[in-house]
Amino acid sequence: MRLSLFYQIQVPKPWTAESEAQRIYEALEQIPFAEQQGFSGVWFSEHHFRPVWSHNSAPDLTLAAVSQRTERIRLGIGVVLAPIHHPLHIAQRMATLDILSHGRVDVGLGRTGYPYQLIPYGSDLRDTRGMWQEFADILPRIWTQEEITYDGEYFKIPRREVLPKPLQKPHPPLWSACGSDETAVQTGNLAMGGLFGSEGGPDRVRQLMEIYRDALPAAARPRAALMTAGFCHEDSRVVTSRGTELIGWYIEQQRERARLVWRDYDPSSVPPDYQGYYARDQRLAAGPHPGEPTPAEVREEGTKFCVGTPEECIRFIEIYRSMGIEEVILLCAVGPATHQEVMHTIRLLGEQVIPHFTAKQTHTASAI
C-alpha cells in the first residue's frame, strides 16, 4: 500500500490577485515535505473552465516544477483529457517530463464526463470514446517505435520520428480513469492501471474493480489506485468539526460542478454512453435531497473519504487495501483547508499512517 497526494489546485472565493498563485506555491512546498514523510507519489488533475474547484489546466508544467524540487516521489497526471489534445503533443511533453524527473512519470488518460470542457476545443461528446481508444493505442507506439505512422478515424500521422523518447522503458506506466463499467472494461482490456474514485463508496469501487480485473489479459497484473479526499488530525474534536466542514464543502462543490457542466447543452443530444453521467449530474444538481446523508453522517461512516484521526485513516485505507487497491491518492488541499492544515495532515500521515502499512508489508515479506 502506497500513499500519494492529489491536487486540483482548488481556490475558494473570495479571490485576491494572489489567490491562484499562492495555492500553486503552497503545493510546491507541500510536495517536497510529503516526499520527506514517505509519500510515494503526487498526481495532478487536468480540468478546464472549473472556477473554485480546479485552477489546474496545465498540470505537466506544475509537475515539471515539482520534478526539480524532489528526488524520489513519482509524478502522475490523473488524467490527460484525450479528446482535447493531440497524442503527438502529449507524447513529447510527457517524455520531456520523464527526462526532467529522471524517469518518475505516470500518465493517466480520460475522456471527461461532460461537454463543458470539450466544446471550446471543438470536440464532440459522440467522439470521445473513439478518440480515447486511438489515443491509448498511439501513445505507447510513439514512445517505443523509432518512427510512427498512424491512420485512424480521429488521428492521422504520416511517417515521423517523434522526439524526445521517455527515460522509462518501454514507456511511462499508463493509467485510465474508471468511472463507469465501460471505461473499466476498456482499461482492463488494454492492461492499463485503473484509477478509481471513492465517492461511490466501497461497494461501487469493488464492483468496478471486478469488471476491470475480468477484462485484463491473462498475463497482466492488475494495478489499482483510489482517489479520495484526505484530512487527518490527532484530536477527534477537530476531526468532528473541521473534517465535517471540509467534507461539506467538497460535496457542495460537486453539486456546483453538476449545475455548471451541462449548461447550454441540449438534453436530446446526449449520446447513449453519456446518459448515465447526465442523469447522475441532474440529480446531483437538484440536491441535496431528503434522506441523503449529511456531511457529518458521511464523515462518521468513514468509507467515502479518508477523514479522521490517524487510526480512522488507517481503517479507511484498510477497507480498500483488502479489495486490492495498492495506492491511495489523497486530495489533502481541499478548498478551504489552509496550508498549515495540509502540512499537518501530511505530517501525521507520514508519522503514523504510512509506517503502519510499511510495517505490515515488511512483516508479510518476511513471512514469505
pLDDT for residue 368: 54
Separation between Cα atoms, residue 81 and residue 84, nearest integer Å: 6
3-state secondary structure of 285: helix
User: Is there a contact between 11 and 52 (Cβ–Cβ < 8 Å)?
Assistant: yes
Cβ atoms of residues 80 and 90 within 8 Å = yes
What's the CA gap between 244 and 231, in Å, rounded? 10
pLDDT at 218: 94
> Would you state the pLDDT for residue 363?
53
Q: Bin 125: left if φ > 0, else alpha if -120 < ψ < 50, else beta.
A: alpha
pLDDT band at 314 (very low <50, low <70, confident <90, very high): very high
The pLDDT, as a whole number, for residue 359 is 83
DSSP 211: H
Question: CA 249 to CA 12: how far, in whole Å?
Answer: 10
Query: What is the CATH T-level fold of the domain 2-367, as seen in this structure?
Result: TIM Barrel (3.20.20)
Locate all alpha helices (DSSP H) within 12-104, ordered by sequence.
19-36, 59-67, 87-100
* pLDDT at residue 366 is higher than 60: no
CA-to-CA distance for 216 and 212, rounded, in angstroms? Answer: 7
State pLDDT tens for residues 256-288: 999 999 998 999 999 998 999 999 999 999 999
Report the alpha-carbon distance of residue 52 to residue 50 in Å, rounded: 6
What pLDDT is stored for residue 289 in this prediction?
96
DSSP string, 254-269: HHHHHHHHTTT--GGG
Query: 360 near 74, Cβ under 8 Å?
Result: no
Q: What is the pLDDT of residues 97-119, one digit of tens each?
A: 999 999 999 999 999 888 999 99
Q: What is the 3-state secondary structure (H, E, C) of 121-176?
A: HCCCHHHHHHHHHHHHHHHHHHHHCCCEEEECCCCEEEEECCCCCCCCCCCCCEEE
Determine the residue type at 311. E
Please give the pLDDT value at position 311. 98
**Domains of the chain by residue range:** 2-367
- Which of 292, 289, 286, 254 lies closest to 114, judged by CA? 254
Locate 233 and state its grid cell: 488530525
- The string of pLDDT tens digits covering residues 210-240 is 999 999 999 999 999 999 999 999 999 999 9
126-168, pLDDT tens digit by residue?
999 999 999 999 999 999 999 999 999 999 999 999 999 999 9
